[in-house]
Chain A
Amino acid sequence: MADLRPARLSPADVLRVGGAGLRARPTRVVLSALGIAIGIAAMISVVGISTSSREDLNRRLAALGTNLLTVGPGQTLFGEQTHLPTESVGMIGRMDPVTSTTATGQVVDAKVYRNDHVPETQSGGIGVLATRTDLLDTVGAMVAKGVFLNEATARHPAVVLGHKAAERLGVAAPNEPVHLGGEWFTVVGVLHPTPLAPELDTAALVGWPVAQQQLGFDGYPTTVYARSRDDAVHSVQANLAATANPEHPDEVEVSRPSDALAAKQATDETLNALLLGLGAVALLVGGVGVANTMVISVLERRAEIGLRRSLGATQAQIRTQFLAESLLLSALGGAAGTLLGILVTTSYATYQDWPSVVPAWATTGGIAATMAIGALAGLYPAIRAGRLSPTEALATP
């Protein structure tokens, strides 16, 4: 008597049989795969965009350096504004790990206008800062047009404008005059944006001597910039206040601008978590869509199930067929969603001028999630299909 053991379906045949069910109903396949695709695409682009933006920040910080510290005057216990001692710049500069220092001082009474006809109140939010001539190297700023102040021009009515200040004043090129603190100053240069010292973007920079002689500047520095060795940033940061103002270290504010940039990034992460959650919900809804499609598919194909049983398919082979179909369906959605997510990330990153980064864990995790969803969604319909009695299945018209 022959051995009655069912033959195994080869993996290729499982794939063919699972795919046949999908090929027969392309519209339904596209629509239910779309649900999965949207969920995966949403999650991957959220992760991709935030990773790209972080990567961009990291690269910018690497270029700018994270070793810049700033020192400014704080307030007394009674809320009065204080001064940094004038000798603080020199004292900070003498700290061992500090490689360079520079300073700016707010010229409180001076405002800058395009010409002498502009009403006094329309100062455009541009502050006038007295600046030392070694500002650029320490802060990491660069001149876009013209030149920076030097020892000579620092004594004359010459001004260098920050990036935004130039825009607001409508100064396109150097050698134009602006009305500054009641005098005519000549613009000698315009700066590029300075991410680590954004206060310079909206400033008009004049020489320290000319500020004291012509603009009534009190000579107190309001911001001291210090670059330290990378390995000593924290110890310098801890000692800066006491060095800048030994008598009242509590009246000094020390900050690290790169931290501020990183903190801004961190606040975005709550939003990212929310968006990621939305993506997960979309994915879940997509999974329900696949389950629904599979249940309907089993109902509609009772006759086919009956035929296959009559051709010798075992219950397990029927189950496998529908499970394979469900897995293929969601894998299709997952693959499309991953591609879409990468596309969205790439185009947004390109638009923002960021490096485009989609972490490998996100794509593999996304595909794994779709496979898990496909398996879950297909399990119940597949079990039902397998349990269907052949006579009942064949009796359906």
Chain B
Amino acid sequence: MTPVVELRDVGREYQGVVALRDVSLTVERGELVGIVGPSGSGKSTMLNLIGTLDRPSHGEVRIDGHAVRELSDRALSALRANTIGFVFQQFHLAAGVSTVDNVADGLLYTGVGLKRRRQRAVEALETVGLGHRLTHRPHELSGGERQRVAIARAVVGRPALLLADEPTGNLDSTSGEGVLRLLRSLNDAGTTILVITHDQEVAATLPRRVDVRDGRVVGDG
């Protein structure tokens, strides 16, 4: 089976500044991996490359078997729509829009009709334990609930890969633990998850951690 993520000697420079140098990383299906490092270590660059939001300066990125280099912007969009789910530190929920519709937007660019999108959004919300918050607006939810809505939006399309960028960064420790528990249970159910974090405590709870420093992978295990 092809690995979900495959980086081979990947580097990324921004106007001469090296953000990532010669990183190789393989994530197999079903893994739960933490990418850990202080800010400026290059972990966000890795997230952007793995999420196909950015292209490497050199090296090869393969996501779910697709070589990113060979894909057009349109094809990458389709890849993101069907294969990758994102969870952000800032949640990025649409204000004034109900929980169901926020989650249903996770399927907007996959060609699924509105009715089916809403059905699957309800299912996803039940999975993350928010079946009782369907019609609430983001401002009526706690931070932990908001992040769970964002996670529901990321997994509603059943992506091969879930990328979580500092998912607990804006949460108190109790809500943060809840979010991590949810990620672990999603992983138990088969979702491949990459968590990007600077938080050593968070990293300690994950089965595999990849340490990043100064644009290099300095530890993996």
Contact = CB atoms under 8 A, between A and B. Distances in A.
Interface residues of B, number: 35
A10 B108 contact: no
B79 A4 contact: yes
Contacts of B86: 307, 310-311
B24 interface: no
Interface stretch (B70-78, B120-128, B139-147, B199-207): B70-78
A285 B75 CA distance: 40
A13 B53 contact: no
A293 interface: no
A12 B108 CA distance: 11
Interface string B93-119: 011110000000110111101100000
B69 interface: no
Interface string A247-260: 00000000000000
B106 A311 contact: yes
Contacts of A307: 86, 88, 92
Interface string A293-313: 000000000011011111111
B80 A309 contact: yes
B221 to A, nearest CB: 29
Contacts, number: 98
Interface in A304-333: 304, 306-317
Nearest to B45: A391
A1 interface: yes
B65 interface: yes
A94 interface: no
Contact of A312 (B65, B80, B92, B113): B80
Interface stretch (A17-25, A155-163, A180-188): A17-25
A63 interface: no
Given A6-B74, A312-B82, A390-B53, A13 B90 contact: no
B66 A317 contact: no
Nearest to B106: A311
Contact of A1 (B66, B77, B105): B66
Contacts of A6: 74-75, 77-78, 81, 109
Contact of B92 (A2, A303, A314): A303
B213 to A, nearest CB: 21
Interface in B2-43: none
Which of A2, A16, A17 neighbours the largest number of chain B CB atoms within 10 Å of its CB? A2
- Among A306, A308, A309, which residue has the most Cβ atoms of chain B within 10 A? A309
A313 B109 contact: yes
A8 B112 CA distance: 10
A397 interface: yes
A313 B86 CA distance: 13
A303 B90 contact: yes
A311 B73 CA distance: 13
A336 interface: no
A9 interface: yes
A360 interface: no
A207 to B, nearest CB: 84
B105 to A, nearest CB: 7
A394 interface: yes
B32 to A, nearest CB: 20
Contact of B73 (A304, A310, A315): A315
A5 interface: yes
Given A5-B78, A311-B106, A312-B80, A20 B113 contact: no
Given A315-B74, A397-B90, 12 more contacts: A2-B82, A304-B92, A306-B92, A308-B108, A309-B53, A309-B80, A311-B106, A312-B110, A313-B77, A317-B77, A389-B53, A390-B53
30 contacts: A1-B65, A4-B71, A6-B77, A6-B78, A7-B78, A7-B109, A24-B94, A303-B90, A304-B94, A307-B92, A309-B53, A309-B77, A310-B51, A310-B53, A312-B78, A312-B79, A312-B82, A312-B108, A312-B109, A312-B110, A313-B108, A314-B74, A314-B78, A315-B74, A317-B77, A391-B48, A391-B53, A391-B54, A394-B53, A394-B88
Interface of B: 48, 51, 53-54, 65-66, 71, 73-82, 84, 86, 88, 90, 92, 94-97, 105-106, 108-111, 113-114, 153
